[in-house]
Amino acid sequence: MNTLKKFLIYILIIAGIFVLSDFLINIGLNSTYKDIDRVDNNSAVTIYQADATYVNGRIRGLINNTESISDKYLKIELYTRRNVLVGSYYVEIQHNTANNAQAIELLFKATDVSYYQVTTTNEKDGSSELEVLPKEWSRGEVILVTVLTMLMFI
């Protein structure tokens, strides 16, 4: 019975450290992101999150009414505060009849981004396309990898 209490206390301590470290890491990473501005008036695209650190960033939004602009590309251009084009990213607009909206998620690696511009084009120009970062892990994936890592040390 005494050893069972010890194991329970160890498990609670490990779970508490996991929750505290997850909270502090989330606060630390999200506090380094600053909002970036949008300089166009493209009403077909709604951006709900656009922020960047000095070296990377993320833009998330929705393309509304995809049936009127289907078979085109959405071009997102990133600029520094001195109006230097850092890179561009293309999203293929797909016709979606269910709700006429398409989700956009761009995780990019570019230095000193201050603002961005969204336009629609008919074709893709791959010369200035950005290096796109892999998708962020979900909470379940992070927990699974953490548990597997902890099992390696036991």
Is residue 145 included in any domain, yes or no?
no
Phi, psi angle pair for 16, to nearest 5°: -65, -40
| pLDDT tens for the 154 residues of the chain, in order | 788 888 899 999 999 998 898 888 888 877 888 989 899 887 788 899 999 988 888 899 988 865 666 678 888 899 999 988 888 888 888 766 566 778 888 888 888 899 999 888 887 776 556 655 566 677 788 788 888 888 888 7
In whole angstroms, what is the distance from residue 72 CA to residue 117 CA? 16
- Whether residues 5 and 16 share a domain: the answer is yes
User: Are residue 96 and residue 50 in the same domain, yes or no?
Assistant: yes
Would you say residue 151 lies in a domain? no
Judge whether 18 lies within some domain.
yes
In a domain, 40, yes or no: yes
Interaxial angle between packed helices 2-30 and 139-153, expressed in degrees from 0 to 180 and rounded to the nearest 10: 130
The residue range of the domain holding 14 is 1-31
Does residue 78 share a domain with residue 5? Answer: no
Q: Which letter does DSSP use for residue 62 in this model?
A: E
pTM over 0.85: no
Residue 136 lies in a domain: no
- Give domain status of residue 67, yes or no: yes
